[in-house]
C-alpha cells in the first residue's frame, strides 16, 4: 500500500472531523457490519441484520465534545444557488444520468463489479473535463500512475491539466483538495483510502466510513466535485453500502453483461436530480463509447421467426428504448417450478404469470420460466408487462409473433391492460425503428401515422388479436 506522508503539511484529522485513534476511556464500544452497515452495541460472528459471516467489526469513536461553539443560522434567501449549478463533463451519457453534470462540492459514489469499466469511464471523463483546461486529479490507489498513463495515451490525447496523485492517504487527498482546488477529483478506489489517524485497515468499515466522511467534508468546504469509485461484493453490493450511501450526494451503479459490450450507468440515489435516466455505453478497443441510439443497438442482433420473442417499447428517464424480450417455458415434470429472470423485476414477473394462469388459463404449473431483456439491460417499467405475458404465451404455445409487432401495456390484476406513461413517445420510437403494428390498451386512441394500433382491453384479447397477425 502506498502512502503519501510527504504530501502532508499537517494532520487533517482535527480539520476534517475524523475520529481519533486514541481510545479514550470514555469512548463507547460500537460495532458495524462491513457488508450492510448495520450498527450494534455487541459483537457477533454473523451480522443479525444481513446474515453475513465475519463482517461485524468494532469501531472506535471518541465521545463528541460536550461544548460546541454556538452555531449561527443564515437566511435561506441569502443563498442565490449560483454555486450549485451543475457543470457538464462533456461525456454525454454521464451528463444525462447526472441531470446535466456535477454540482460543485458534490460527492458521487460510482460502484460496479471489478473489470466492468469504472476506471475507464472515469479516466475518459477526467480527460474530457481536463480538455477544457479545468484541473482534474486522479487519485490512483489501485493502479500505478504509469499504468493509468499508458491507458490514457492509448485512449487519446492527454491534457496537461490532468494530474495523478499516487496515494492512499485520506489526509493527503484532503490536503491536495484544499491546496489545488481541482474542478474534479477521482478516487480509484475508496476501498484503498486509509486515514492515518485511524487504527483500522483499508477497506474496513471504520476506514471506509471515516475516509469517505473526511473527503465529503473537504469536498463541500472547497467546492470540489469528487467521484469515489467503489467495488461491489460478489452479491452486487457495495462493500459497506449503507455506510457510504448516506454520506454521499449521488450513488451511481455501472453494470453490464460480461458476455456483451454494453454498459449501463444508473443513479441509485441523486440529491440533485432524478434517478430515472440511464446512460448506455459500449466497451470498445478505444474505450467506452456512448450509445446514442440504444434502440437500434438493442435490436441489432434480434432473433426473428422464433417463439418466445417480442419487442417492447420502454421508457428510461426521458428516452424511449426498444428492447427484445425473450421467454422460454420448459416442462419440468413433478419438480417445483423455477423462475429465472434477467433484467425483469421478480415482483412484476410473478404478477404477470399469475394473471396468465388465472385469467387466460395458461397451464404454467410444472414449467420453468426463463425471461430476459436482451442486451443485459434491466427495467422496472410496468410497460413491459404485456410483452412479458405475450412472450411467455408465445413460448408455451410455440407460436411465433410477427417481427413488426411491438407490445406496450401494463397488466392489472384483473388481466386488464393499462397505458404506461409516455405512450406517445413509445409509439413514435416503435415507428421510427420500423415497427408497423402495436398492441396497446383500448384507452390509446391515436399513434403515429403508419403504425397500426391493435387496441385490446385485456391480456386475453391481446392473445386473440395476435392470432391473425402471427407470422406464417
Ligand atoms: P476497467 O476500467 O479497468 O474496469 P474496473 O475499473 O471497473 O475494474 O476496465 C477493464 C476492462 O475493460 C478490461 O476487461 C479491458 C476492457 N477495456 C476495453 O475493452 N477497452 C478499453 O479501451 C479499455 C481501457 C478497457
Ligand atoms: Mg479499476
Return the exposure string of 277-288: e unless at least 16 CB atoms fall within 10 Å of the residue's CB, then b. bbbbbbbeeebb
Residue 471 has pLDDT above 70, yes or no: no
Positive or negative, the Cα torsion across 271, 244, 187, 290? Answer: negative
Order of all β-strands in the sheet with 309-316: 339-342, 367-373, 319-331, 309-316, 405-407, 437-441, 452-456
**Cell numbers standing for residue 157:** 490525447
Return the exposure string of 216-249: e unless at least 16 CB atoms fall within 10 Å of the residue's CB, then b. bbbbeebebbbbbbbbbeeeeebbbbbbbbebbb
The pLDDT of residue 69: 65
For ligand 1, atom 8: residue with the closest CA: 115
Chain segment 224-266, per-residue pLDDT in tens = 999 999 988 656 555 555 678 889 999 999 998 777 899 999 9
Which residue, chain included where needed, has cell 404469470? 353
Ligand minimally distant from the alpha carbon of residue 254: 1
Cα(397) to centroid(ligand 1), Å? 43
The pLDDT of residue 406: 97
Can you tell me the mean pLDDT for 135-144? 94
Mean pLDDT (the chain) is 86
The pLDDT of residue 260: 81
Cα(283) to centroid(ligand 2), Å? 14
Chain segment 181-192, per-residue pLDDT in tens = 999 999 999 999
The pLDDT of residue 9: 32
Can you tell me the mean pLDDT for 383-409? 96
Provide the 8-state DSSP code for 108. E
Which of helix, strand or coil describes residue 151? helix
Cα(130) to centroid(ligand 1), Å? 21
Chain segment 292-318, per-residue pLDDT in tens = 999 999 998 888 899 999 999 999 888
Which residue, chain included where needed, has cell 469517505? 212
Q: Do the bridges between strand 250-256 and strand 262-270 make them parallel or antiparallel, or are there none, so unpaired?
A: antiparallel
Give the position, in ligand 1's atom list, of the atom nearest the Cα of 151: 24
The pLDDT of residue 14: 32
Listed in sequence order, the residues at least 6 apart from 78 whose beta carbon sits closer than 8 Å to its beta carbon are: none
The pLDDT of residue 25: 42
Ligand minimally distant from the alpha carbon of residue 121: 1
Contact 247, 216 (CB under 8 A): yes
Chain segment 340-381, per-residue pLDDT in tens = 999 999 999 999 999 999 999 999 988 999 999 998 888 999
The pLDDT of residue 162: 96
For ligand 1, atom 14: residue with the closest CA: 115
Share of the chain above pLDDT 70, in %: 87
The pLDDT of residue 235: 60
Can you tell me the mean pLDDT for 450-468? 91
Contact 280, 291 (CB under 8 A): yes
The pLDDT of residue 17: 34
Q: How confident is residue 13, by pLDDT bands cut at 50, 70 and 90? A: very low
Give the position, in ligand 1's atom list, of the atom nearest the Cα of 122: 2
The pLDDT of residue 68: 63
The pLDDT of residue 33: 78
Strands (E), 197-237: 225-231
pTM: 0.83
Chain segment 37-66, per-residue pLDDT in tens = 778 888 888 888 877 777 788 876 644 545
Residue 7 has pLDDT above 50, yes or no: no
Residues 264 and 105: their CA atoms lie apart, in Å, by 25
Chain segment 164-174, per-residue pLDDT in tens = 999 999 999 99
Report the residue among 91, 109, 116, 120 best suited for mutation to probe ligand 1: largest number of ligand atoms under 8 A from its CB. Answer: 120
Q: How confident is residue 437, by pLDDT bands cut at 50, 70 and 90? A: very high
Can you tell me the mean pLDDT for 391-418? 96
Residue 6 has pLDDT above 80, yes or no: no
Which of helix, strand or coil describes residue 425? helix
Of 13-22, 139-148, 345-354, 370-379, the poorest mean pLDDT is in 13-22
Provide the 8-state DSSP code for 116. S
User: Which of 20-24, 73-77, 80-84 reaches the highest mean pLDDT?
Assistant: 73-77
Can you tell me the mean pLDDT for 80-98? 88
Give which of 345, 363, 349 is closest to 411, Cα–Cα: 349
The pLDDT of residue 240: 54
The pLDDT of residue 18: 35
Give the position, in ligand 1's atom list, of the atom nearest the Cα of 116: 7
Residues 407 and 437: their CA atoms lie apart, in Å, by 9
Share of the chain above pLDDT 90, in %: 64
Can you tell me the mean pLDDT for 448-472? 84
The pLDDT of residue 4: 47
Give the position, in ligand 1's atom list, of the atom nearest the Cα of 261: 19
Amino acid at each position: 500500500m502506498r502512502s503519501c506522508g510527504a504530501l502532508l503539511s499537517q494532520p487533517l484529522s482535527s480539520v476534517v472531523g475524523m475520529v481519533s485513534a486514541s481510545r479514550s476511556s470514555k469512548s463507547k464500544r460500537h460495532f458495524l457490519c462491513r457488508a450492510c452497515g448495520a450498527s450494534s452495541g455487541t459483537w457477533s460472528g454473523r451480522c443479525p441484520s444481513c446474515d453475513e459471516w465475519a463482517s461485524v467489526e468494532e469501531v472506535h469513536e471518541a465521545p463528541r465534545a460536550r461544548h460546541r461553539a454556538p452555531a449561527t443560522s443564515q437566511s435561506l434567501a441569502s443563498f442565490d444557488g449560483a454555486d450549485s449549478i451543475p457543470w457538464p463533463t462533456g461525456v454525454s451519457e454521464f451528463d444525462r444520468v447526472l441531470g446535466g453534470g456535477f454540482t460543485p462540492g458534490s460527492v458521487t459514489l460510482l460502484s460496479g463489479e471489478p473489470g466492468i469499466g469504472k476506471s475507464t469511464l472515469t479516466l475518459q471523463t477526467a480527460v474530457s473535463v481536463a480538455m477544457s483546461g479545468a484541473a482534474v486529479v486522479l487519485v490512483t490507489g489501485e493502479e500505478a500512475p504509469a499504468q493509468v498513463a499508458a491507458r490514457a495515451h492509448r485512449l487519446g490525447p492527454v491534457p496537461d491539466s490532468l494530474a495523478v496523485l499516487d496515494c492512499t492517504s485520506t489526509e493527503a487527498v484532503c490536503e491536495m483538495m484544499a491546496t489545488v482546488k481541482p474542478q474534479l477529483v477521482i478516487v480509484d478506489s475508496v476501498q484503498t483510502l486509509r486515514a492515518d489517524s485511524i487504527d483500522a485497515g483499508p477497506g474496513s468499515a471504520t476506514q471506509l466510513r471515516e475516509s469517505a466522511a473526511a473527503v465529503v467534508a473537504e469536498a463541500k468546504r472547497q467546492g470540489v466535485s469528487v467521484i469515489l469509485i467503489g467495488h461491489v461484493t460478489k452479491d452486487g453490493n457495495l462493500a459497506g453500502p449503507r455506510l457510504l450511501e448516506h454520506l454521499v450526494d449521488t450513488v451511481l451503479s455501472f453494470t453490464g453483461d460480461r458476455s456483451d459490450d454494453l454498459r449501463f450507468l444508473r443513479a441509485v440515489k441523486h440529491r440533485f436530480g432524478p434517478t430515472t435516466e440511464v446512460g448506455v455505453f459500449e466497451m470498445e478497443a478505444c474505450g467506452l463509447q456512448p450509445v446514442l441510439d440504444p434502440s437500434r443497438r438493442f435490436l441489432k442482433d434480434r432473433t426473428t421467426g422464433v417463439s418466445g420473442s417480442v419487442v417492447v417499447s420502454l421508457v428510461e428517464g426521458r428516452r424511449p428504448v426498444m428492447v427484445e424480450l425473450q421467454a422460454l417455458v420448459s416442462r419440468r415434470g413433478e419438480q417445483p417450478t423455477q423462475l429465472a429472470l434477467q433484467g425483469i423485476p421478480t415482483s412484476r414477473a410473478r404478477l404477470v404469470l399469475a394473471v396468465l394462469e388465472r385469467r387466460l388459463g395458461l397451464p404454467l404449473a410444472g414449467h420453468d420460466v426463463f425471461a430476459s431483456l436482451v442486451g443485459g439491460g434491466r427495467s422496472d417499467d410496468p410497460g413491459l408487462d404485456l410483452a412479458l405475458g405475450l412472450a411467455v404465451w408465445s413460448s408455451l404455445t410455440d407460436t411465433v409473433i410477427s417481427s413488426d409487432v411491438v407490445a406496450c401495456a401494463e397488466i392489472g390484476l384483473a388481466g386488464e391492460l393499462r397505458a404506461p406513461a409516455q405512450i406517445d413517445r413509445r409509439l413514435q420510437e416503435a415507428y421510427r425503428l420500423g415497427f408497423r403494428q402495436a398492441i396497446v390498451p383500448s384507452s390509446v386512441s391515436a399513434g403515429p401515422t403508419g403504425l397500426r394500433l391493435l387496441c385490446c382491453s385485456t391480456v386475453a384479447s391481446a392473445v386473440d388479436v395476435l392470432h391473425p397477425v402471427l407470422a406464417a
